[in-house]
Structure 1
């Protein structure tokens, strides 16, 4: 470790910055890899901004389901912007250094946006369940307060301890993070003191937030499927399933990515590059592809795009 990255803290050294090593082992390919990543990032920004503007201007889209899609678009922009500029700076300019406060801020942003995305998918599942199975109770349950508490407030507060606990650790020797971003486990593994509390809270957060969200999401869609299959009308069944299909595609993609990442981390010591690469892709591909799924699967939103771009009629008519 370069001694210029350390400061004295009592009788020991405290590093003042971390070094993000990027994709170790394929540095000669990083410039080429940065091109599709940059295109995906630009696609994520443009497509999600289009989603937000379309929902804002389409009066027929001012409903909880579309508000959730708008929040998801904001979260996708935030998640991609949290990591991609720094990754591209590493690939293009070899700007690997990152200060401790910047690193801890990135840890919080990644956890917050990631958990908010999971919370949004839970709200989507509840929204469809109430709309299909309990339609008379829909206005009293699916409110702006419900959406705010389930997506923003819960995840914003519960993820605060993650960077705080990381910042309380003492980093005295190693400062090289084998990643393109400041992952919590990657950072705290460099600490010179005990990290049991950090690991415990990380595990608890995974189970309490993402794990419970996943279970509730699939339970909601199982209940929806059970309910619609009992309908005698084939048209009603088709309409209900069509309404849920776009959400279910996004949800399956999101949680499948989590499961794949978890499995690859088990083999990290043998193939350390794969978990890092998949983690980067999981943070940039969904924000780029989510709007495409909306555009293909949701008729009113597609009409909203056409009106906004001057290609169709007003969706409010």
Structure 2
């Protein structure tokens, strides 16, 4: 590692990513679950996109938002895993100055985009349950497309200052990043300048996005719960709330590790560095793997179509139908 130490330069052409400091001897073993999770995430999200594209009956707002989520869940882990695995497998630690800031932008931008998609999905569930007769007239294809554009633009506008601010700092201490990817604060902490602007802006974006989106999601579900409790039968209540189960599971699987990583990074000064880095990777890798699994298991239309496409034929079709009947019962 001493070969990489340099203290007499400004704005190096490359940074050096250490991977997971303290666990270098285990990089090969750590790469196995990382790679497995990534492969499952890619296969699962491509399956969601394939099923929705092939099935006209799934061409509706809920599934369009699900496709947006699947695309986001393909970009997020891919933005870190290719370089991380090259570190683990080939000890290829160098990353160019521009590539580092590009990676930083994609990670944070699509994290914000994903949070916005959760809000859009919550609104879709709110309209479907609280005003079902007007669902198709309110959530038109045009509105869904415009929502997607707004969510995308919000992510770009909020995150673009990250690399723009980071690029202006002079980097004259070292070019070694104690991380497996170009995490925002891990990079700007290398600058030999006052980085409070970057630090405070990063904290503002995190709290603003999580706080604002959590507020809108909470308001939607308060209204949903009010509508559910007005239903006369318990069975109808459970069935109606069950349509929101997948969305709630997806939100929890994303926000929980993200908040944990944010809090440990900002306030967990006594937490070991390798634990920080592992949690940062987990919140970018595990939710994209879980999302298609959650929707595949809990959404009957997707689950049924996956079985049919995997094993086409009368026998398997009958088995899939009987399994659906048994599961719903």
TM-score, normalising length: structure 1 = 0.91
| 1:201 counterpart residue number | 201
Cα deviation for residue 264 of structure 1 reads: 2.1
| 1:107 counterpart residue number | 104
RMSD: 2.2
Q: How does 1:1-317 map to 2 (within 5 A)?
A: 13-142=10-139, 143-265=143-265, 266-309=267-310, 310=312, 311-312=316-317
Q: How far apart, CA to CA, are the structure 1 residues paired with 2:90 and 2:192?
A: 30
Q: Structure 1: which 5+ residue stretches go unaligned?
A: none
SS at match of 1:14: coil
Q: Which moved more, 1:162-171 or 1:217-226?
A: 217-226
Deviation by residue 1:247-278 (Cα, 9 ceiling, x = unmatched): 10010111111221133222244422111101
SS at match of 2:11: strand
Q: Structure 2: which 5+ residue stretches go unaligned?
A: 322-329
Residues 304/150 of structure 1: CA separation in 2 closer, same or farther (3 Å cut)? farther
1:51–1:73 Cα contact (<8 Å) kept: yes
Q: Which moved more, 1:114-123 or 1:136-145?
A: 136-145
Q: Which moved more, 1:263-272 or 1:46-55?
A: 263-272
Count of residues paired in the alignment: 311
2:4–2:175 Cα contact (<8 Å) kept: no
| 2:326 counterpart residue number | none
SS at match of 2:15: strand
Residues 77/66 of structure 1: CA separation in 2 closer, same or farther (3 Å cut)? same
SS at match of 2:110: helix
TM-score, normalising length: structure 2 = 0.88
Q: Which moved more, 1:182-191 or 1:258-267?
A: 258-267
Residues 289/235 of structure 1: CA separation in 2 closer, same or farther (3 Å cut)? same
Q: Which moved more, 1:141-150 or 1:61-70?
A: 141-150
Q: Which moved more, 1:133-142 or 1:256-265?
A: 133-142
Deviation by residue 1:10-55 (Cα, 9 ceiling, x = unmatched): xxx3322111111111111110110111111111111111110100
Deviation by residue 1:138-182 (Cα, 9 ceiling, x = unmatched): 335432234313422221232112111111111112111111110
Q: How far apart, CA to CA, are the structure 2 residues paired with 1:44 and 1:96?
A: 24
Q: How far apart, CA to CA, are the structure 1 residues paired with 2:64 and 2:195?
A: 39
Q: How far apart, CA to CA, are the structure 2 residues paired with 1:44 and 1:253?
A: 14
Q: Which runs of 4+ in 1 moved over 4 A?
A: 1-8
SS at match of 1:45: helix
Cα deviation for residue 7 of structure 1 reads: 8.8
2:5–2:175 Cα contact (<8 Å) kept: no
SS at match of 1:18: strand
Q: How far apart, CA to CA, are the structure 1 residues paired with 2:8 and 2:145?
A: 47
